[in-house]
Amino acid sequence: MANLIPPRFKVVIDYEKCRKCKRCVINCGFGVYSFSDRVIPDHKKCVSCQRCVAYCPEEAITIIENPNVFRPNSYWTMEERINIMKQASSSGMLLTGMGNDRPYKNYFDHLLIDACQVTNPSIDPLREPMELTTYLGSKPDAVKVKVEDGQIKLDTKIAPQIKLDTPIIFSPMSYGSISLNAHKALARAAKECGILMNTGEGGLHKDLYPYKDRIIVQVASGRFGVNQEYLDHSAVVEIKIGQGAKPGIGGHLPGEKVNREVSETRMIPEGTDALSPAPHHDIYSIEDLAQLIYALKEATNYEKPVSVKIAAVHNVAAIASGIARAGADIIYIDGFRGGTGAAPTIIRDHIGIPIELAIAAVDDRLRAEGIRNSVSIVAAGGFRHSGDVAKAIALGADAVAIGTAALIAMGCHVCQMCHTGNCSWGIATQRPELTQRLDPDWAAGQLINLIKSWSLELKEILGALGLNAIESLRGSRERLRGIGLTDTELAILGVKHAGR
């Protein structure tokens, strides 16, 4: 039956334009092209990563969705029929990369931001200072001061805080799932922008040690690469419990991606699959989680915030409350649009909830219990532009994390085939002939430009709101209005309908 599965895409070559330079043959990481007297495409191998299109000097290549796949059917879609045929021929589980791409409602697109007019004038960010600085960490409910030698000094012990120059960080993406050059670009951009990058669960390559003040290191269920040296080279330590793209299951890095450097960094044998169990085998309760939180604080001399990453699921507010009471300084919530290097398609597409609803629910719960100041909330899962960032902060987040947007800035075309290790753009691969395509200096420059652009736009949004500090927007849902949402949705989000 494998031979009966039609190709998803068709490669159309204009042979009158083609000059047989073979750049398409060289550039395709998936082996689509061969050459005899002319270029011949194997349509079944094409994933529409667009590398060949970008590098064809004559613009002779066009990739289209195959119009001859199946008779149209609104219920039995082309994708569903192809997936059934694949599983019928393989008896395997279907894998995919990136985040949920199903046409669920995107709540950010149904939220509108307020603006000032007459009685509360707007602010011009070009002429007046605008503060985007954000501090991540547990805050006290009140502070005391004392006078010593005629000077006023703080008399309240403050938990470790991490300063961000703008309320955006890079999402966890592990070395192994993406290339070392991609990791270097993220680290360099984080340092330049005064933000943070996250190692993911794959350990920290020694080339990134100089960036330790801008790095979040993860302690996941597989404990890959975790030792004292790893913890020492970080600004924040994060316990990974769940991931938005695959809540409730573990991780899997195929052995094909575990080369010598990945094996040394993860501290596993070269060429072996890196399997993360679904649960942490030392965490079966909030009390167990508290033990690990304080073990990590002890290991880092109580000098670094400890974050806990969870997936956005149905009872996320109750889970977040427990995490806050367990002693975490930061709660990282990953919505179901969050990306991944590899996940079962059925899990990615059908488990979890949107990040917008999760932010509102968690912020409400922590405020109701009087513990909102004890943790910072970082939201992730499909942030596409600065408008999404502003709306998330208004819903209650302290900062947001971007992953897919960062990859796109580095050249990713979202073909969703990260799990194959054949990324033609040199990002989600360990093949040396492919990884060398990504220049970390160029990629870092792209990321820096993206963060600076979004920061400028955030200042414009704040100015329109009549605010001069991002802190004033946090949790200010009165500055949002919903459109095209039900009463239940508006109640969960805590916003009024437009016109009210």
β-pairing, 496-497 vs 480-482, is parallel
Alpha-carbon gap, residue 188 to 200, rounded angstroms: 16
SS3 151: strand
Alpha-carbon gap, residue 469 to 132, rounded angstroms: 6
SS3 396: coil
Q: Which two tokens stand for residue 334?
A: 């990953």
* Cβ–Cβ under 8 Å, residues 497 and 485: yes
Alpha-carbon gap, residue 154 to 156, rounded angstroms: 6
Position of tokens 């046409």? 103
β-pairing, 252-253 vs 274-275, is antiparallel
> Can you say whether the dihedral through the CA atoms of 79, 82, 87, 92 is positive or negative?
negative
Alpha-carbon gap, residue 242 to 307, rounded angstroms: 12
SS3 498: coil
* CA-only gyration radius of the chain, Å: 24
Alpha-carbon gap, residue 87 to 94, rounded angstroms: 7
Known binding residue 116? Answer is no
Q: In DSSP terms, which residues pair with 35 in a beta bridge?
A: 39
Position of tokens 């109580």? 302
Known binding residue 24? Answer is yes
DSSP letter string, 360-400: HHHHHHHHHTT-GGG-EEEEES---SHHHHHHHHHHT-SEE
> Can you say whether the dihedral through the CA atoms of 260, 263, 268, 270 is positive or negative?
negative
Q: Which two tokens stand for residue 25?
A: 């043959």
Count the Cβ atoms, other than its own, within 10 Å of residue 281.
Answer: 10
User: Which of these, 421, 416, 409, 381, lies nearest to 179 by C-alpha position?
Assistant: 421
Query: What contacts 415, CB < 8 A, 6 or more positions away?
Result: 47, 48, 49, 50
Alpha-carbon gap, residue 361 to 354, rounded angstroms: 11
Please give the annotated binding residues for [4Fe-4S] cluster, written as ranges: 18, 21, 24, 28, 46, 49, 52, 56
Please give the annotated binding residues, written as ranges: 18, 21, 24, 28, 46, 49, 52, 56
